[in-house]
A and B are shown apart, each in its own frame.
Chain A
């Protein structure tokens, strides 16, 4: 495949993946694997697994991170720019359109009721995610994480911003890793 054609394929593949993937980063990665590993053979299976691990641990949206990694691996810096563009364009277009009609629709009584009903469903879904995540933490049998969780919850209720909380927790996690006393055997492997 010529490099020009490769860029075009890369762009439209990420555009298609982004436009038709509902449910966020964890859903898009298996689909990316299907496209770039199975269909085009541009990546090895193990490479895709490594990229997934990096995409999940770096800050930012998982889908965007994975797109950068895949693009860079396949076609360098230009490839990364092309896949990011392809990934970001569909949600931008859709939300721009929604934004333009938002005011008009929101004042409609029926739409308002529908939105409230759907919000209830979404809150339930998010609560379920919170429970699953808290349970993952609980499974590690480390009192420090549960104390941290409780402390952050209280701090957040009292109005402390999310950014300082995340930073402080990150520093505590880093200190915990660097401290020599409990070596790596205690439960860290539970983290997926």
Chain B
């Protein structure tokens, strides 16, 4: 199912991109150009370029664009959810640990 594939691809991107947007780019290319036929290399380059001029994290920009192109607005929402889901879980856990003071 396309929604599940979109979610899973962007979940992996969100989970493995340590170090911000530039580190995420090869992961995104692998998922959306090489692994799945969602974007051409030209489209990929276009979105990287557009992302430099629009606000927001590059992974979220890609999630929205790819989702829209592949499965419309629901696709965009699902892909973006997948992209921020790992951070939501991991960072909330870290925040909870830091703030409750269990870990320095």
A residues apposed to B, CB below 8 Å: 18-22, 24-26, 50, 54-65, 68-69, 72-73, 77, 80, 84, 87-88, 90-92, 94-96, 98-100, 102, 106, 115, 118-119, 122, 125-126, 129-130, 133, 156, 161-163, 166-167, 170
Contact = CB atoms under 8 A, between A and B. Distances in A.
B84 to A, nearest CB: 5
A91 B65 CA distance: 10
A130 B19 CA distance: 12
Contacts of A156: 26
Given A21-B55, A119-B45, A92 B88 contact: no
A164 B15 CA distance: 12
A183 to B, nearest CB: 20
Given A61-B20, A115-B49, A98 B65 contact: yes
Nearest to A65: B91
Interface of B: 12, 14-27, 29-30, 34-35, 45-46, 48-50, 52-61, 64-65, 68-69, 73, 76-77, 80, 83-84, 86-88, 90-92, 94-96, 98-99
18 contacts: A22-B55, A59-B14, A59-B86, A61-B17, A61-B21, A63-B57, A65-B91, A88-B56, A91-B60, A95-B50, A95-B64, A102-B46, A115-B46, A129-B22, A162-B30, A163-B16, A163-B30, A166-B16
A131 B16 CA distance: 22
A92 B64 contact: yes
Chain B interface mostly helix, strand, loop or mixed?
A: helix
A54 B73 contact: no
Contact of B68 (A84, A88, A100, A129): A100
Contacts, number: 179
B91 A90 contact: no
Given A60-B17, A64-B57, 19 more contacts: A54-B94, A56-B20, A59-B16, A59-B90, A61-B20, A62-B21, A65-B87, A65-B91, A72-B99, A87-B56, A88-B80, A90-B56, A91-B55, A99-B69, A102-B69, A119-B45, A119-B46, A163-B30, A167-B16
A77 B92 contact: yes
Contacts of A98: 50, 54, 65
